[in-house]
Copies of this chain bind each other. A is one copy, B any other.
């Protein structure tokens, strides 16, 4: 079974997420990075190609060049991974789909909701796989949590609290990673809500198995002069009436990447924290607390098949990311991967961002989330 060949769009010098996509894609040896348009600057694209150790002739200066050259090869790319800032997501995906290439894209799907809707049209028209790298849904114990809830471990869900605190934008935004994230022309109208709020939103729906139907959003720009939100509180209502709270912030000094979620039902509660991802805590109504370990004997197939080491050998962010790529590879080989985030998550996420930004500005109170 040959390795699938990946072309990267974005991920040039100084990129944080490009090398991470590369590692994640290749971790299970089902995929290989072979080509890329790593930068719109040809020299920088070549420089990045060298750092990734790919064939120098396959570091391209623009999309058209890549698509043309790769199409001409017997061993051309099988799909593209889009790892640019948000405003490039739509044009890159549109072009790739038009070139007949499946797409896996970093989140959020696009910079604006209108773009996401356009994207959905292109995906449908192309009939090609499209995946969105909501990394955190790749963690084995996130999948275990989802499976247990689906199997009724908590009874009907009543409450979901999902938090995503960070502190790295508490000061002035400086550096490549920070600057585009606080520039609405590149990030879209949402700052924090798009950058990490979408992860929290997707995780809440992913684990609970429930859709959010209504939100009440209060987004703030805490750092003086910042043109996008950096601190978000969003109240949630789920389709079954369950209550929810989503907190996301990038100004909480000392918080690193503190995504965490707690779900409560009639019969129990489940708690998972990204920074200590290898334990999942299950509480039951009789007062018992069980700690479930990644790699352990208690795991169901979704989690067990996404773990590479025995219990006590910590796996982390890169391995979770690799699980997303493993699912994507399965889809490309014609298998199903029902847990892989795709265009529906793209639309839901961007609807969430758009509704939150709009409703918060209008102080609109509870607002329906209509995808």
Min CB gap A59→B, angstroms: 14
How far is A334 from B255 in the complex, measured between Cα atoms in Å? 41
Q: Residue A305 at the B interface, CB < 8 A?
A: no
Nearest to A54 among chain B residues (CB) is B29
Q: Give how many copies assemble into the complex.
A: 4
Min CB gap A359→B, angstroms: 11
From B50, B235, B287, contact of A297 by CB (8 A) = B287
Q: Which of A94-102, A142-150, A262-270 contacts B (4 or more CB under 8 A)?
A: A262-270
For A218, the chain B residues whose CB sits under 8 A away are: 216, 235, 243
Decide if B26 touches A53 in the complex (CB within 8 Å): no
Chain B proximity mask over A274-298: 1 for CB below 8 Å, otherwise 0: 1111100111111111111101111
From B167, B222, B269, B319, contact of A255 by CB (8 A) = B269
Contact flag A366-B366 (CB < 8 Å), given A20-B309, A309-B20, A314-B316: no
Nearest to A23 among chain B residues (CB) is B27
Q: Residue A22 at the B interface, CB < 8 A?
A: yes
Decide if B20 touches A310 in the complex (CB within 8 Å): no
* CB-CB contacts below 8 Å: A118-141 with B: none
Decide if B314 touches A284 in the complex (CB within 8 Å): no
From B159, B247, B283, B295, contact of A251 by CB (8 A) = B159
For A252, the chain B residues whose CB sits under 8 A away are: 159, 161, 262, 264, 269
Q: Residue A166 at the B interface, CB < 8 A?
A: yes
Contact flag A284-B254 (CB < 8 Å), given A27-B23, A275-B314: yes
Min CB gap A300→B, angstroms: 14
Decide if B285 touches A253 in the complex (CB within 8 Å): yes
How far is A245 from B274 in the complex, measured between Cα atoms in Å? 21
Min CB gap A231→B, angstroms: 6
For A231, the chain B residues whose CB sits under 8 A away are: 158-159, 243
Min CB gap A298→B, angstroms: 6
Q: Residue A371 at the B interface, CB < 8 A?
A: no
Chain B proximity mask over A1-40: 1 for CB below 8 Å, otherwise 0: 1110000000000001001101100110110010000000
Q: Residue A308 at the B interface, CB < 8 A?
A: yes
For A301, the chain B residues whose CB sits under 8 A away are: none
Query: How many of A's residues come within 8 Å of B, CB to CB?
Result: 90
For A276, the chain B residues whose CB sits under 8 A away are: 276, 314
Decide if B16 touches A30 in the complex (CB within 8 Å): no
For A308, the chain B residues whose CB sits under 8 A away are: 19-20, 23, 318
How far is A2 from B53 in the complex, measured between Cα atoms in Å? 7
For A285, the chain B residues whose CB sits under 8 A away are: 170-171, 253
Decide if A50 touches B314 in the complex (CB within 8 Å): no
Decide if B315 touches A257 in the complex (CB within 8 Å): no
Min CB gap A244→B, angstroms: 9
* CB-CB contacts below 8 Å: A153-205 with B: 154, 158-159, 161, 165-168, 170-171
Decide if A268 touches B283 in the complex (CB within 8 Å): no
Q: Residue A79 at the B interface, CB < 8 A?
A: no
Q: Residue A336 at the B interface, CB < 8 A?
A: no
Told that A3-B53, A216-B216, A316-B319 touch, could you supply 12 new A-B pairs with CB distance under 8 A? Answer: A1-B50, A218-B235, A218-B243, A252-B264, A253-B269, A254-B284, A274-B314, A286-B297, A287-B298, A287-B311, A314-B317, A363-B366
Residue numbers of A with Cβ under 8 A of B are: 1-3, 16, 19-20, 22-23, 26-27, 29-30, 33, 50, 52-53, 154, 158-159, 161, 165-168, 170-171, 216, 218, 220, 222, 231, 233, 235, 243, 245, 247, 249, 251-258, 262, 264-269, 271, 274-278, 281-293, 295-298, 308-319, 363, 365-366
